[in-house]
Each structure stands twice: as C-alpha cells, then as structure tokens.
Amino acid sequence: MTVRALILTGHGINCAREMAQGFGLAGAESLVCHLNDLSEVALDDYQILVLPGGFSFGDHLGSGRALAMRLRRAPLGQTIERFVAEGKLVWGVCNGFQTLVQMGLLPAGTTLAPNASGRFECRWVRLKANPASPCVFTRGMDVLELPVRHGEGQLVGEPSAALVPLQYCDSQGPTQSYPENPNGSVLAGAALCNETGRVFGLMPHPEAFLRSTQHPEWTRHKDLASRFGTAFPSEGSGLAFFRNAVEAAREIGFCASV
C-alpha cells in the first residue's frame, strides 16, 4: 500500500523539496502543490498534509496567519477538518507549525510568540522526546539534534505536558535555560500535538537532517565512531519523523494500492 503526502509550496514556503525528499526516503509518494493549485487537487487522495517551513506571505499580519486564513476558507477549511476527523496526518514545520496554531488545529490556549531572546535563532539544538506523548511522529525517539531557524517560536500558554512531544534539553534533561532552550518556550516545548497525536507541529527542521553528513560536526562523529569501533550511521535523525509518519498513515487503511 502506498502512502501519499501532499506538501504545500508557494508564497514564501521554502522547504517543500526537502520534505518531499524525506518522504521519498521513507517509502512514500508526495506531491509538491502550489497554494494556487490546491483547488485542482483532491485532498482525499492523500493521507498526510504537510505545511513546510519558510515565511509564508512574508509573515504579514503575523507568522503563519495569512496562510491560516487562506486554508480555513471554505470549502478547503471543511475538507481539512474532515481530513483530521478521519485520522489522517497533518504536519507543520516551523512556519507550518505557526500556521497550525493559527488554524486552531492544535490545543486551544497555546500560541507561539517572539523568541524571549528578542532575536532570530539559527543553530542546532538538542531535543528529548516525551515518552508520555501520544504523538505518532516521535515514536521510538529519545534524544536527538536538529537545527532551528526562527524568530517567533516561543510556546506560551498552558499546554498539557503530554501534548508536548519534544522538549529542548541539555545534558540533564528538559531545560528553560538559554541558549539550550532557544526561545524560552514553556515546558521547554519544541513541538505540540493534538490529543490524537496525528496533528503535529514543531519548530526544529527534521527535513534539514536526513543524512548524517548534514550535521555540522559529522566528521568528528565519524572519527569517534571509528575510534570506538561503532558504525557511523548514514541517516540523520530527522528521517525518523518521516518513517514514523508513513507508518502511522498506513495504520488508517486509506492508502492507495499499487
């Protein structure tokens, strides 16, 4: 059975091709669709809807707000609501996460605010997965590293701890301290999911770490692996998100036969 992902692009969305590569490596088909062409695509033919990172509509009116207003508009808004109700997956990365919050697809009472540092944060961070979360995207994960690049990623409000599937951490565990927590998020939250775990938004960029050689210290990691006689992985830890998404999509039974 073939899993299909619909990946949005256009009007300032930057990372669609990288997302498509991730799904290809995970064994899924994907269509990168410009926002202007959405009316020509049947969302029902897909199991995963992806809102990549970038600066949609130049972040006018606020990060993700203009895109959220466009996606909520009838009849597309009702189609997305049905998509979610059927247990299909919706994934937002960075600006896509901001858009999901603006659309109301993630828990009420939480939002994303400008970074507490008052500046754009662009670097790699350490993350810890929350084993108590229902999030299907983070299954089997523990501690990993991914890059962030955002100016408005501070999770504020009172989210349920179980709905925060990824947390910024240091060597001791989840932390509120800067710079390990790059934006000051409550509960050290780097991500948020809904109660089903099938609508998921995160600020870090998994699509930017599909191969181990994309890590800025990969040569050191390879040297250490050689010294200790361990295997140096070819995959970056970001690819696990795509594999988990594809596996979770297969569970719902709407996949196309090939």
Catalytic-labelled residue, pool 135, 205, 215, 255:
205
The span from the CA of 120 to the CA of 173, in Å, is 24
40 is catalytic: no
| CA distances (Å), origin 80, targets 6, 43, 77, 195 | 12, 8, 5, 17
Phi and psi angles of residue 102, each rounded to the nearest 5 degrees, phi first: -65, -30
Catalytic-labelled residue, pool 18, 121, 152, 207:
207
Catalytic-labelled residue, pool 33, 94, 169, 255:
94
* C-beta separation of 63 from 95 below 8 A: yes
Element (H, E) at 227: helix 218-228
Q: Taking each helix axis as running N to C, give the angle between helix 76-85 and helix 65-72, from 0 to 180 degrees, rounded to the nearest 10.
A: 90
Q: What is the DSSP annotation of 134-145?
A: --STTTT--EEE
94 is catalytic: yes
Question: In this structure, what token pair is assigned to residue 69?
Answer: 């207003």
251 is catalytic: no
Residues identified as active-site: 94, 205, 207
